[in-house]
Every structure is written in C-alpha cells, then in structure tokens.
Copies of this chain bind each other. A is one copy, B any other.
Amino acid sequence: MENLNWIAVDWGTSHLRLWLMDDQHQVLQHIASARGMSSLRPEEFEPTLIALVGAALPEQGRIPVICCGMVGSRQGWAEARYSQAPCTPPSIDAATRVQTEDPRISVYLLPGIKQLPAADVMRGEETQIAGFLAVTPDFDGVICLPGTHCKWVHISAGEVVSFRTFMTGELFALICGASVLRHSVGDDGWDAEAFEAAVADAISRPSAVAGNLFSIRAETLLCDLGSAAARSRISGLLIGIELAAARPYWLGQDVVIVGESGIAAAYESGLAQQGAMARRVTAENMTLNGLRAARAKLAEMTP
C-alpha cells in the first residue's frame, strides 16, 4: 500500500481492530477481527497481525504499529508497564517494544494505568482518555467508559486523578448468557420503562440485587414476563447499583460517556434519571484519536 505510514491497533480481550493510516493520520483501510487477546498465545500475536496486514507492508523500511488494550496484559503479547495515577495518560515514550521476526514492522504496546490504593488497573481506556483530551485539552470532570469493566475516571488539569472499575458489563454477560436467567432473556429488544424502574429499584435498595435478579426468573415462570423486559431489568439492576456506588464520581460533575451507542445510551438514561446530564462521544473515535496522538509524539521523538 503506497501511502501507508503507520498502523493503529486496538487489541482487546475479545476483539481486534486495525486501521492502516497515511502520513496525514487519515484512515486508508479499517480491519476488524474476532482474534482478541484471550484467544491467542503470546507467539500467535505476530502471525495474526501479519496475516491481516502483511500484504500492505512495503518491502523497505519499518512501519510503526501502535497498539493499545489487553494485548499489553500479562496474558497478552508481552506485559506492558503501567503508569501510576495521578498521571497524564501515558503515551508512546513509555511504550513497551516487542521484537518481531518480520523486519517490516516496529511494534509498540502502550502502557496502562495503575492506582494504589485503592488498587485498580486500566488497559486501553487510557488511550481513549488521551484521545478525548487531545480534542478537549481543558476538560475538568469525569469520563465514564462503560463496557466489560466500566471505568469512572476523574480528570483534572490533563491528568487522570483517580479511577474506579466496576465489573458490570461482565456480570451482565454472564447472567444473561450462563445463569438460570438465560431462559428469561432474549438476544435483543429493549424496554425503557423496565430499565428505568430497575435502576430506581437498585439505587434505593442495592443490597437486594441478587434477590431482584431471581424475581425475574420467577416472573418469567409465573407472570409471563417478556424477554425484552427481563433483559432490560437485568441491565437496569446492574447499572443502578453501579450508579449508586459511583455517585461521588458523577454528582455535580461534568460527565462524558465514552462508549458504543447501546451501552452508552443506557448509562446516559440512568444518569438522567438521577438528574445528571452527561455528554456522549464514540469510543472508537476516541481510541483512534489517542493512537494518532501517540503517532504524532513518536514523530517528535524520532524526527
């Protein structure tokens, strides 16, 4: 590919997204694959990458490949370091280099952020935060990043001041996919009223969550509860208790939700119910912005 200048990579637990970029940081090609970190042994990362982009690589020179996400975890390609909060979102100057057999690429794994105490970690979200701050450098407030492990991140003066992770998305997937409630939920469908009632219920009585979850099973058996209502109630109960615990992060703060449309809308709706107005930005755009910022910094480092 003639204009290829570098490759941006978001390599998460269950997904892999690549963008072939020109020297103006414009996307030449986007590739999405299901070969996430959790499906790969360390020696399989390079062949997986080359199988997807090898044909586009020039014969001469080395193309920078800048990666964020769980690819840098202990179970990933190589363990990248953590910066410690409070800190600016770490960038390419603290990246971990990976030796490759293919001489046409230079691979960088961006660092994560750790916090001690309270012990917490992120890998991937720091790049989305960097991407958001690249376009909103004066932001002072809270970034909420919903997903498998939702993060609430307090940002001030360009720094990640503190953050807190909730396993909400993973619990939702396990409960819908592998618990007795799998018989109650459908694959899709949304019942906004059921979601809102469940959020309110969970915020007012968070301890009842394991009982309120079983009620969904009982109402399926005894009251013909619909599958969309069941799914929305599970989501509302789990997001509701998270919002109750995350209150110090959103109360009276400027809140930005960085996420894909469905889940971001659910958090926005739950927050609105509590009187908190949040803005939404698209996660993928922020990831790409953050990787672009890393590429720009690399150019400054190696003119």
Residues of B within 8 A of A211 (CB): 164-167, 242, 245-246
The answer to whether A222 touches B116, judged by C-beta atoms less than 8 angstroms apart, is yes
The answer to whether A214 touches B174, judged by C-beta atoms less than 8 angstroms apart, is no
Q: Per a CB cutoff under 8 Å, which of B74, B118, B206, B222 touches A207?
A: B206
Residues of B within 8 A of A217 (CB): 121
Q: Does A98 contact B (CB under 8 A)?
A: no
Q: Known contacts A180-B170, A210-B245; decide if A114 and B149 are in contact (CB<8 Å).
A: no
Among residues of B, the one whose C-beta sits closest to the C-beta of A114 is B222
A8 to chain B, nearest CB (A): 25
Q: Per a CB cutoff under 8 Å, which of B168, B214, B238 touches A165?
A: B214
The answer to whether B149 touches A214, judged by C-beta atoms less than 8 angstroms apart, is yes
Give CA–CA (A174, B172) in the complex, Å: 11
Residues of B within 8 A of A208 (CB): 245
Q: Does A136 contact B (CB under 8 A)?
A: no
**CB contact list, A160-193 vs B, under 8 A:** 164-168, 170-171, 174-175, 178-181, 183
Q: Does A241 contact B (CB under 8 A)?
A: yes
Among residues of B, the one whose C-beta sits closest to the C-beta of A244 is B207
Q: Does A32 contact B (CB under 8 A)?
A: no
Copies in the complex: 2
Q: Does A219 contact B (CB under 8 A)?
A: yes
Q: Known contacts A180-B149, A223-B119; decide if A171 and B210 are in contact (CB<8 Å).
A: yes
A219 to chain B, nearest CB (A): 5
A151 to chain B, nearest CB (A): 9
Of the candidates A171, A179, A218, the one having the most CB atoms from chain B within 10 angstroms of its own CB is A218
The answer to whether B149 touches A215, judged by C-beta atoms less than 8 angstroms apart, is no
Residues of B within 8 A of A181 (CB): 167
The answer to whether A121 touches B222, judged by C-beta atoms less than 8 angstroms apart, is yes
Q: Known contacts A120-B218, A215-B120; decide if A210 and B223 are in contact (CB<8 Å).
A: no
Among residues of B, the one whose C-beta sits closest to the C-beta of A170 is B179
Of the candidates A207, A214, A221, the one having the most CB atoms from chain B within 10 angstroms of its own CB is A207
Residues of B within 8 A of A238 (CB): 210
Residues of B within 8 A of A244 (CB): 207
Give CA–CA (A92, B227) in the complex, Å: 34
Among residues of B, the one whose C-beta sits closest to the C-beta of A211 is B166
Q: Does A276 contact B (CB under 8 A)?
A: no
Residues of B within 8 A of A214 (CB): 120, 149, 165-167
Give CA–CA (A119, B230) in the complex, Å: 14
Among residues of B, the one whose C-beta sits closest to the C-beta of A122 is B218
Give CA–CA (A120, B178) in the complex, Å: 20
**CB contact list, A231-254 vs B, under 8 A:** 238, 241-242, 244-246
**Subset of 9 A-B contacts with CB under 8 Å:** A114-B222, A119-B219, A121-B218, A165-B218, A167-B211, A174-B174, A178-B178, A206-B209, A210-B238
Task: In the A-B complex, list the 7 residue pairs whose CB atoms are closest, starting with the nearest.
Answer: A206-B207, A207-B244, A119-B218, A207-B245, A166-B210, A208-B245, A165-B214
